[in-house]
Structure 1
Amino acid sequence: MSFFQDMIAVFKKRELVFIESYKESEYVYTFVFEKEKDLTWKAGQHGLFSITHKKVKNPTKPFTISSAPSENKIIN
C-alpha cells in the first residue's frame, strides 16, 4: 500500500460485528469481531475503534490488531 492508501484506510468508517470479549487481567480486555471480506491489514497494525455503548465514556480508542490477516476474525 502507498502512503495515500494507508491514510484513506485510517479514515474509512466500518461497522464490525462483535462476537465476544475476554477479561485478561484487571485492566486488560480482548475483543473479538467478525472480519469483513474486504478488510485487510498488516501484522502489527492498529486501528481507531469506537465502541458504541452507553456505559463507555470515551468510545474511540486505538487498539492493536492481534489476529493475522488470514484469520476469519479480528482480535483486539
Structure 2
Amino acid sequence: MIYGGFQIKSFEVGKGQWHARIQRIDQKPVVIDGISFPTLDIGFAWSDQDAAITDARKVIDRFQQRSGMTVPSAAASA
C-alpha cells in the first residue's frame, strides 16, 4: 500500500502479531536525527493487519509534521 509517499508492507511475526515496514517510494532513506534508515519497522505487534497499517500511517504523518518532509507521489513520477 502507498501512503504519503511511502510503501507500507504489513507482515505477521508469530500468530496474530502484525507489524508494518515502511520505505520511501523514491527509495531514498529516511533520515532521523542524522541517522539514515533505508526502511523502518514499526515497533508494535498488533493483533490484526489493519491496526499495523493504521499505526504505520500515523508514523508517516508524524514524520511529515516533524520535518515538513514531502515525498513525490508515484503518480507524479510516472
Task: Please confirm whether the aligned pair reaches a TM-score higher than 0.5, indicating the same fold.
Answer: no
- Normalized against structure 2, the TM-score is what? 0.28
- Larger relative helix fraction: 2
| More RCO (CA 8 Å, sep 6+) | 2
